[in-house]
Amino acid sequence: MKIFIDSGDIAEIKEAAAMGAIDGVTTNPSLLAKTGKPMRQVITEICQIVDGPISAEVLATDCDGIVSEGRQLAQLHPNVVVKVPLIVEGLKAVRVLASEGVKTNVTLCFSASQALLAAKAGATYISPFVGRLDDLSEDGMQLIEQICAIYSHYDFDTQVLVASVRHPIHVVQSALLGAHVATIPFKVIQQLAQHPMTEAGLKKFLEDSKKIPQG
């Protein structure tokens, strides 16, 4: 499973890249608003750090607007993936962008029927939001299971990109289900590496090392 970082924070992205943890980056307007910098500037900076798919979201909500914005974003760098909301106008725009060879990440997916339509439209990635479903007492991972099962029955090229990841269990379950990608906040990437037994074991080894005779 590929791991993307879900962030617009350059320091976080650099640190995750240094860990060898990430294959790509996803952003959204909420994450970019936190940077205080213009969107195109942040996306261009990210493209210099990570050599992989970098999702940048359109703000238009009509087909022509999404296509036009998507074309402009795609011009920023060959690795840019145009993130499009899962609305009817978005699906129409995905179809046009796909026919032009522009990669798309269809976002804000909350149902298997939406994921089916995104694949039919030619989306490169579908982003189901597991954490936000969990927040509503629905089972986000069950949606991933459904989408993976549906896509596996047919000849769709669309990759399942698990989004709105909140904790390491989401990541492990995504990998067990065979999702192609999980996009993960930096905090959760750090949590993936941590285990109290590792920390306790290392502390003991370092303490005991002081008892080794010098020679």
- The values of phi and psi at residue 207, to 5°, are -65, -50
C-alpha 82/C-alpha 104 separation (Å) is 5
Assign 108 to helix, strand or coil.
strand
Q: Which is nearer to ligand G3P, 119 or 133 (CB)?
A: 133
Kindly give the pairing relationship between strand 125-128 and strand 104-109. Answer: parallel
Nearest distance, CB of residue 32 and ligand G3P, angstroms: 10
26 makes contact with ligand G3P (CB under 6 A): yes
2 is an active site residue:
no
Q: Which of these, 46, 38, 36, lies nearest to 16 by C-alpha position?
A: 46
- Write each residue from 169 to 208 as x if it is in contact with ligand G3P (CB under 6 A), else as -, in one continuous string: --------------x-------------------------
Residues 14, 83, 120, 210: which is the catalytic one?
83
Neighbours of 199 (CB within 10 A): 10
Q: Which of 7, 105, 164, 174 is the binder for ligand G3P (CB under 6 A)?
A: 164
Burial (CB < 10 A; 0-12, 13-18, 19+), residue 81, is buried
Q: Which of 40, 71, 92, 132 is the binder for ligand G3P (CB under 6 A)?
A: 132
Neighbours of 162 (CB within 10 A): 31
Q: Which of these, 158, 174, 176, lies nearest to 166 by C-alpha position?
A: 174
Stretch that binds ligand G3P, among 66-74, 98-106, 125-133, 174-182 (CB under 6 A): 125-133
- Write each residue from 27 to 46 as x if it is in contact with ligand G3P (CB under 6 A), else as -, in one continuous string: -x------------------
Residues that bind ligand G3P (CB under 6 A): 6, 26, 28, 129, 131-132, 163-164, 183
